[in-house]
């Protein structure tokens, strides 16, 4: 997280410079606002260009009027200075406010607006870098406003905002937090609240809490968002604060794909509002680069960061002087991520030099830049310089930030890695254990209590990869296995843990409380997704959705509190569990091998755990090489063209996953267990090739599936007997073979668009065969219900008690986010009954699935790309798999790419038939795949596009 914060630092802004606009606001022509009272009633936080033009025209009238008194002239000059300030013409603003000050000083007594004059003097001086003078003005403003009593609450808020701006510029985040949050609270308590400024102050309060990583950050940002939607029009400039807060939180929670549309919307709005280059455009531009980087798109991120760095050099932001240097540090990070370490070092040195030029010694931004340079130097092997930088930086960071702050923890891990490289393994391991324990506690606590989903798979790996490297260097396999499990936690880890906790709560007689919590959390997720869509699209629905979301969040918080009061252990149980090495081995059966493959910055490491042994081996690689190879293999595996399969990629990836040192362990195993994350998460390990192969004779190729059954686990430590074959003798439910609307000859009409999809002629037959397979095995005599064709509707599903079914199968099309206009999450295609209503649009979305209540031993998704993520670039198993896991499915059969209708029917029915007869599910799928591969009557049956899409996921 510290590395993430390093890029976010300098791109979130404190309130006074938050000129974040959703659109230009109409402003009254000066002819329609001819009195000072009318001008003072204007919204000073409206679109800066419009406000400046209005005040310039009004000032011309006042200054041309010889009868205008000094107080009127002073307030006019102040109003013009404020408009110039928000238009970012700080020298002109200072000139005008100086003229206003001279007029005020000429008055016989201090006017009521004096605190406002002093506060704006302070913020303009802050922007001009004259911080000592700004401090004196801000303190004076506060004293004068306080003397006005209750009538001066709004002006006291203004003075506290000025103090917050100053503290932020001085890098005193704790003081900035106090000042901005106090300003917010005073504004809320005022008899005549200035709503745009309250939103401004509330946003600033949330932003500083975000920087400090306070546990109440989300609550503060919620308050700002709710106040904005309640009191400001949808096109108000301060609505940009809401966008900024929303995507910042999403990035912190590891939900990068969801953040990107909001960032792009924000950037678009700022460009509409501002001509030329301003820091309000730099901020979302830099955040866009960070989002792309976090999603693995390093090349595009580098281009964005390079543009942002050039812009920062030209802007030379005075109130945030670290921006220029931080922009180059950001650029260096994405260069390093592409393996160009020497170049990254030079760019980082340039960023550090700018930070040293722009900041005072001891500034924590300078220290954070030193940590980043130390990181790059360590990976280049220049450890003496790296250690000096890291230790000097840690002294500053420890003094400036809380001990649990991610910048501090990241610095400790970088230093630990340097110590390990220098051979001081004992100190390195002690440091790594302490730092990652704090990271683990923070993130698991957040995941257990937060009503919105946390994507641990995106925010944990970097820290635990460092711990893994240090542990391997020290020969500490217990540490290494734990770090590997943490680095490989998937998006399924949190719902899996919550399901286990909920199950224990139900066993304790608290089923009603669990149901209340789950219903509230499902509504929070659904409304959150709808609000993000509305914000990204700029629709007017955001206000209503925000109010509904706030109410749902309150219900979820109350439900969680009630459950924890009745069942105090719930929060602890809802955290993902990380078993020890001994516990892992105890869970493994003879012949099972747990395979933990990880891609580290300079090498790929695989840890292999059997019941009696643990081994590891590595392969030197360049950053991103393994992920690129896995993508190449996935692309080849889903191509149905005979002879086009990339046997080289399949062979190379096998050698990386199983280096020579691990081959004996592989040979002794018959079942391989892989995590639902990492670089193999978007394809089945079954397609790895253990030896040379002829692309024109794939039937005889040494596929891994020919020698081993393969299981995927939601968590590495969850391999209890979920792989048992026979399903409980409960009902079978089959859903699929959907009908399209009349007139949709070319495909399905969904949400206003036509999606071309291949027909599913065997789907109805497949569902009937699956029902027969259940009743022919361990589920003999269990009731079966098939909803096909016109009956395969969302309404029909919602009318059922889904907990009554032990096996549920969907034979239909699977969609990923973006397949249909307005669809930003995965979905299963059902029969459309009402395309204008979410409950009848034929799209059973992931959020709707997550709200279901299942008790199924097995869910079979005989559809396309059901193992995919929420979008094309999201991690595997983060979409429908996570949704069904959250709904309560204990085991899933999923597909990694589009499945041919004939192959889907053969694989699903044969797998379920074998499992119902008692075979372990992984072995049942393996035998079904081998059978299909050998069939001469199925076109291209030996190609992985046909036989390899499915995997078994145990939850």
Which residues face 892 on adjacent strands? Answer: 859, 953
What are the pLDDT digits (tens) for 7-33?
A: 333 333 223 222 222 222 333 334 444
Per-residue CA distances from 490 to 41, 221, 432, 873, 877 (Å): 53, 27, 22, 15, 8
State the Cα–Cα distance between residues 765 and 543, nearest whole angstrom: 47
CB 914 within 8 A of CB 680: no
Considering only residues 151 and 398, tell me which one the structure prediction assigns the higher pLDDT: 398
Measured CA to CA, the distance from residue 732 to residue 730 in angstroms comes to 7
Strand intervals (E) in 232-276:
none
User: H or E segment at 609?
Assistant: strand 603-609
Name the range with the highest mean pLDDT among 466-475, 716-725, 805-814.
466-475
What confidence category does residue 824 fall into, taking pLDDT thresholds of 50, 70 and 90?
A: low
The H or E element spanning position 557 is helix 542-566
Calculate mean pLDDT across residues 393-411: 92
Domain boundaries along the sequence of the chain: 581-713, 731-918
Which pLDDT score is estimated for 876? Answer: 65
Q: For the residues 418-447, what does the mean pLDDT come to? A: 90
pLDDT class of 781 with cuts at 50, 70, 90: low
Write b or e for each residue in 407-439: b if 16 or more Cβ atoms lie within 10 A of its Cβ, otherwise e.
Answer: bbbbbbbbbbbbbbbeebbeebbebbbebbebb
Token pair of 778 as six digits? 């361990």
Highest mean pLDDT among 208-222, 518-532, 831-845: 208-222
pLDDT of amino acid 5: 32
| Cα–Cα distance, 530 to 197 (Å, whole number) | 27
Q: What is the mean pLDDT of the chain?
A: 85
Q: Which of 210-214, 596-600, 721-725, 897-901 has the highest mean pLDDT?
A: 596-600
Query: Closest by alpha carbon to 815, among 794, 792, 839, 843?
Result: 843
Q: Are 155 and 140 in contact (CB under 8 A)?
A: no
pLDDT at 23: 28
pLDDT above 50: residue 623: yes
Burial of 333 (0-12, 13-18, 19+ CB in 10 A): buried
Section 86-92 average pLDDT: 92
| HSE value, Cβ hemisphere, 13 Å, CA-based, for 206 | 26
What is the pTM for the complete model shown?
Answer: 0.83
8 A C-beta contact, residue 436 and residue 238? no
Between 530 and 420, the higher pLDDT residue = 420
DSSP 238: T
Residue 753 pLDDT:
53
How far apart are the C-alpha atoms of 604 and 595, rounded to whole Å?
13
Report the pLDDT averaged over residues 245-272: 85
Q: Quick one: tokens of 812? A: 């239909």
- Give the CA angle between residues 196, 185, 144 to the nearest 5°: 90
Across the beta sheet with 671-675, what order do the strands follow?
614-620, 603-609, 592-599, 671-675, 709-713, 950-954, 891-895, 858-862, 805-811, 731-738, 784-789
Q: Please count the other Cβ atoms lying within 10 Å of the Cβ belonging to residue 557.
A: 17
H or E element, residue 594:
strand 592-599
Output b/e per residue, 59-71; b: 16+ Cβ within 10 A.
beebeeeeeeeeb
Q: Which two tokens stand for residue 446?
A: 């957040």
Instruction: Annotate 800-835 with b (16+ C-beta within 10 A) or e (fewer).
Output: eebeebbbbbbbbbbbbbebbeebbbbbbbbbbbee
pLDDT above 70 (res 643): no
The strand pairing partners of 829, in sequence order, are 843
Collapsed DSSP state (helix, strand, coil) of residue 843: strand
Tell me the mean pLDDT in the region 445-461: 70
């Amino acid at each position: 997280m510290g590395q993430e914060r390093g890029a976010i630092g300098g791109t979130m802004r404190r309130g006074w410079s938050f000129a974040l606009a959703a659109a230009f606001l109409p402003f009254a022509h000066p002819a329609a606002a001819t009195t000072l009272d009318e001008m003072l009633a204007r919204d000073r936080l409206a679109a800066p260009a419009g406000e400046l033009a209005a005040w310039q025209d009004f000032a011309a009238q006042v200054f041309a009027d010889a009868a205008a008194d000094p107080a009127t002239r002073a307030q006019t000059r102040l109003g013009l200075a404020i408009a110039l300030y928000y238009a970012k013409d700080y020298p002109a603003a200072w000139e005008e406010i100086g003229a206003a000050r001279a007029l005020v000083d000429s008055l016989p007594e201090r006017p009521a607006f004096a605190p406002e004059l002093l506060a704006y003097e302070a913020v303009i001086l802050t922007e001009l870098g004259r911080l000592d003078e700004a401090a004196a003005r801000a303190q004076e403003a506060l004293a004068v406003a306080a003397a006005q009593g209750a009538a001066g609450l709004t002006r006291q808020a203004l003075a506290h905002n000025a103090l917050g701006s100053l503290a932020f510029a001085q890098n005193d985040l704790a003081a900035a937090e106090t000042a901005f949050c106090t300003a917010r609270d005073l504004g809320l308590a005022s008899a005549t609240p200035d709503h745009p400024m309250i939103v401004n102050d509330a946003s600033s309060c949330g932003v500083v809490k975000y920087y400090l990583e306070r546990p109440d950050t989300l609550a503060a940002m919620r308050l700002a968002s709710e106040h904005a939607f309640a009191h400001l029009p949808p096109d108000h400039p301060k609505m940009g604060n809401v966008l900024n807060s929303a995507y910042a939180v999403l990035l912190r929670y590891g939900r990068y794909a969801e953040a990107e549309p909001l960032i792009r919307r924000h950037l678009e709005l700022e460009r509409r509002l501002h001509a030329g280059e301003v820091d309000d455009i730099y901020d979302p531009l830099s955040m866009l680069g960070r989002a792309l980087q976090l999603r693995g798109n390093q090349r595009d991120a580098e281009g964005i960061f390079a543009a942002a760095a050039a812009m920062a050099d030209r802007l030379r932001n005075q109130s945030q002087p670290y921006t220029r240097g931080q922009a180059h540090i950001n650029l260096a990070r994405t260069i390093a991520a592409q393996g160009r370490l020497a170049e990254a070092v030079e760019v980082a040195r340039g960023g550090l030099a700018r930070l040293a030029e722009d900041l005072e010694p001891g500034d924590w931004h300078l220290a954070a830049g030193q940590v980043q340079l130390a990181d790059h130097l360590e990976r280049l092997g220049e450890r003496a310089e790296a250690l000096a930088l890291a230790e000097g930086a840690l002294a500053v960071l420890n003094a400036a930030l809380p001990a649990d702050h991610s910048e501090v923890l990241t610095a400790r891990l970088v230093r630990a890695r340097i110590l390990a490289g220098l051979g001081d393994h004992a100190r390195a391991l002690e440091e790594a254990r302490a730092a990652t324990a704090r990271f683990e506690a923070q993130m698991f606590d957040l995941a257990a209590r937060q009503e919105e989903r946390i994507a641990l798979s995106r925010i944990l790996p970097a820290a635990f990869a460092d711990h893994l490297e240090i542990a391997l260097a020290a020969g500490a396999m217990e540490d290494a296995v734990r770090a590997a499990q943490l680095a490989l936690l998937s998006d399924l880890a949190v719902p899996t843990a919550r399901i286990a906790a909920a199950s224990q709560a139900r066993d304790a007689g608290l089923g009603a409380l669990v149901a209340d919590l789950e219903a509230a959390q499902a509504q929070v997720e659904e409304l959150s997704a709808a609000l993000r869509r509305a914000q990204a699209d700029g629709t007017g629905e955001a206000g209503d959705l925000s109010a509904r979301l706030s109410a749902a969040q309150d219900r979820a918080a109350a439900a969680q509190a009630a459950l924890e009061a009745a069942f105090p252990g719930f929060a602890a149980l809802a955290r993902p569990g990380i078993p020890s090495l001994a516990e892992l081995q105890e869970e493994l059966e003879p012949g099972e091998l747990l395979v933990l493959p990880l891609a580290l910055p300079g090498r790929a490491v695989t840890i292999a755990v059997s019941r009696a042994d643990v081994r590891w081996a590595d392969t030197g690689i360049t950053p991103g090489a393994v992920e690129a190879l896995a993508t190449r293999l996935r692309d080849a595996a889903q191509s149905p063209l005979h002879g086009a399969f990339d046997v080289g990629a399949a062979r190379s990836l096998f050698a990386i996953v199983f280096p020579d040192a691990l081959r004996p362990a592989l040979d002794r195993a018959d079942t391989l267990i892989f995590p639902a994350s990492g670089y193999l998460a978007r394809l089945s390990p079954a397609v790895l090739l253990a030896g040379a192969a002829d692309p024109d004779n794939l039937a005889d190729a040494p596929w891994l599936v020919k020698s081993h059954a393969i299981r995927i686990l939601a968590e590495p430590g969850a391999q209890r007997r979920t792989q048992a074959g026979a399903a409980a003798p409960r009902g079978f439910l089959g859903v699929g073979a959907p009908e399209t609307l009349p007139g949709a000859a070319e495909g399905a009409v969904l949400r206003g668009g036509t999606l071309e999809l291949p027909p599913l002629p065997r789907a109805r037959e497949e569902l009937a065969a699956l029902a027969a397979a259940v009743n022919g095995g361990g589920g003999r005599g269990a009731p079966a219900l098939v909803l096909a064709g016109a009956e395969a509707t969302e309404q029909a599903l919602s009318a059922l008690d889904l907990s009554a079914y032990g096996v549920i199968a969907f034979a239909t099309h699977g969609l990923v986010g973006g397949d249909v206009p307005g669809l930003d999450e995965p979905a299963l295609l059902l029969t459309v009954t009402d395309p204008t209503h979410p409950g009848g649009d034929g799209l059973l979305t992931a959020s709707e699935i997550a709200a279901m209540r299942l008790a199924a031993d097995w869910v079979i998704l005989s559809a396309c790309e059901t193992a995919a993520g929420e979008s094309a670039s999201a991690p595997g198993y983060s979409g429908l798999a996570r949704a069904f896991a959250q709904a309560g499915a204990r085991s899933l059969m999923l597909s990694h790419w589009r499945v041919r209708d004939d192959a889907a029917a053969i694989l699903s029915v044969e797998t379920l038939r074998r499992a119902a007869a008692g075979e372990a599910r992984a072995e049942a799928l393996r035998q079904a795949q081998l059978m299909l591969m050998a069939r001469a009557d199925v076109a291209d049956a030996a190609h992985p596009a046909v036989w390899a899409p499915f995997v078994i996921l145990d939850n």
